[in-house]
Amino acid sequence: MNTRSLRFRITAWYAGLLAGALVVFGASVYVGLERYLDWNLQKTLASQCRTIGTELLTQLPERPSDWLVTEINETYSPEVNSKFVRVIREGAGVIYVSDAPKDGSFNPSRVPLPTTQQTGRSRRIVVDGHELLVEALEFNTPNEGRFIVESGALHRQIEIVLHGLLLTFAIYMPFIISLAVGSGYWLMRRSLQPVDEITRRAESITSTNLSERLPAIRTGDEIERLSISLNRMIARLDDAFQHIHRFSADASHELRTPLTILQLELEGIAQSNRLNPALTDQIGSALEETHRMSHIVESLLAISRLDAGEAKMDKVRLDLGQLAASTAEQMKLLAEEKSIRLTTDVSKEVYVEGDRSRLQQIIVNLVANAVKYTQEGGSVELRVRHEERSAVLEVSDNGAGIPDHALPHVFERFYRADKARSRESGGAGLGLAIVKAICAAHGAEVSVSSREGIGSVFTVELPLLAVAESSDEAHVLRNS
């Protein structure tokens, strides 16, 4: 699970806020219920005191001496209900005190007598390890004088109710939070599913397929506006790229004719015998520059047509290993001029579908590039193999290598890793751009890995075709 994803963060915030709200709600219910139960118990005890004082104590002169004890025991049953009742008569002391509860929770005789300040208000007393809530009221009768009636009950009854509430919260709150988090994550995942689809489609759009568009999410919300805005941006980028491609193609096309005429005129002048040697050298130099400009124009035109899909491609089934071996054999003379050892390690029956001349151009450009940037006495190796569903072409050398900062730009047009190189040694910077354009036209991928001072490896991966059933097992042809 991605903890930085939007759905995770929103779900985490939602779960945190929900948990906080439930905790605040539970605490409020707990405190409110505790105060209500305390108030209700105090009210019940005070009502019991008033009943004893107004209904029983007023009848004492007319009743036998043990009547009060019998009446209170029968009416309230303190020992059965774990209650405490005590009646104090001024000048005579305690005239009634309830017996110990049957559960033995406390001893009523250990409850201290109330002071004058404690009369008329409730107090909490700890007796035998149990908290007792006692209410004391004062009564005056015309014949019997002043009485203090006390009624008490264990606070444990309230604690039992509160404990049950806490247990309920402990059981149900995690369940509610888990259910809410799971539901929230599912809803967020469902709501953001269009964003995942937009992201997936956006990742597949490059400069070669800007005509594609992101899916339009008809939801009427921010996601729909986002998809529409992104499609409009892609359309603007497509227009900009098309304009650049048309400009390159048009400019290259328009330059071909005047350059050809200029080249022919210079060649005609150079063949004249009436020129002095100095002028002949100047014309020769101009002719070389004209040849170079013609090559650049042709390369730009080829790249533009490949990018636009307008280049004529005669795609056939061919053996990439055989093509690489024959091309390398033709280029050995170029390597020998710099005393560079060109070796091949190619597997036969590595079949691909492509234009033979264009794929040969990839091999020529990569090998020529490796030879150009490898010092005398070095080595260049051309390898062809198959890996699962791909045909892999590799050209490696032990030359100067490419700096790390230049690796992302080596396939750009007119880019040179070393700006100080001369045009003769560094070329125009279009060879690798042509390789990339041809690879894109064949649905292939080209990549480079290099370490400065150690060498470079250029890798081309093309879709592999199945080997014919009648063919023998592929074997390796090694030349050096």
Is 175 a member of any domain?
Answer: no
* Residues near 348 by beta carbon (within 8 Å), at least 6 away in sequence: 319, 321, 322, 474, 475, 476, 477
Same domain, 281 and 330: no
pLDDT band at 299 (very low <50, low <70, confident <90, very high): low
Q: Assess if residue 174 is contained within a domain.
A: no
Q: How many domains does the chain have?
A: 3
Which one-letter amino acid corresponds to residue 168?
T
- Asked if residues 138 and 146 have their Cβ atoms less than 8 Å apart, the reply is yes
In this structure, the answer to whether residues 321 and 447 fall within a common structural domain is: yes
pLDDT number for residue 366: 93
Residue pLDDT, tens place only, 220-258:
777 788 888 888 888 888 887 777 666 666 666 666 677
> Does 407 score more than 60 pLDDT?
yes
Residues 59 and 19 in one domain: yes
Last residue of one domain, picked from the residues 161, 182, 201: 161
Tell me: do 107 and 126 sit in the same domain: yes
3-class SS shares of the chain: helix, strand, coil, % to 5: 55, 20, 30
Q: Please give the pLDDT value at position 466.
A: 77
Is 443 a member of any domain? yes
State pLDDT tens for residues 129-146. Answer: 888 889 888 888 777 778
Residue 213 included in any domain: no
Q: Do 231 and 142 sit in the same domain of this protein?
A: no
Among the listed ranges 3-7, 13-17, 138-142, 375-379, which one has the minimum average pLDDT value?
Answer: 3-7
Is 36's pLDDT higher than 60?
yes
286 and 413 both lie in a single domain: no
Q: How far is CA 282 from CA 279, 286, 289, in A?
A: 5, 6, 11
In a domain, 97, yes or no: yes
Any domain includes 15? yes
DSSP output for 45-113 = HHHHHHHIIIIIGGGGGGS-TTHHHHHHHHHH-TTTTTEEEEEEETTTEEEEEPPPPTT----GGGSPP
- In the chain, % of residues over pLDDT 70: 85
Q: Domain with 232 in it: what CATH number?
A: 1.10.287.130
Owning domain of residue 66: 6-161
pLDDT value of position 343: 92
Q: How many CB atoms lie within 10 A of CB 263?
A: 16
> pLDDT category, 479, cuts 50, 70, 90?
very low
Predicted local confidence at residue 473, as pLDDT: 39
pLDDT per residue as tens digits for the range 442-477 = 888 999 999 888 899 999 999 988 765 334 434 444
Over residues 403-417, mean pLDDT: 80
Residue 88 in this model has a pLDDT that exceeds 60: yes
Are residues 140 and 282 both part of a single domain? Answer: no
DSSP character for 386?
Answer: E
Mode of pairing for the β-strands spanning 379-387 and 341-347 = parallel
51, 151: one domain: yes
> Both 293 and 341 in a single domain?
no
Higher pLDDT, 426 or 430: 430
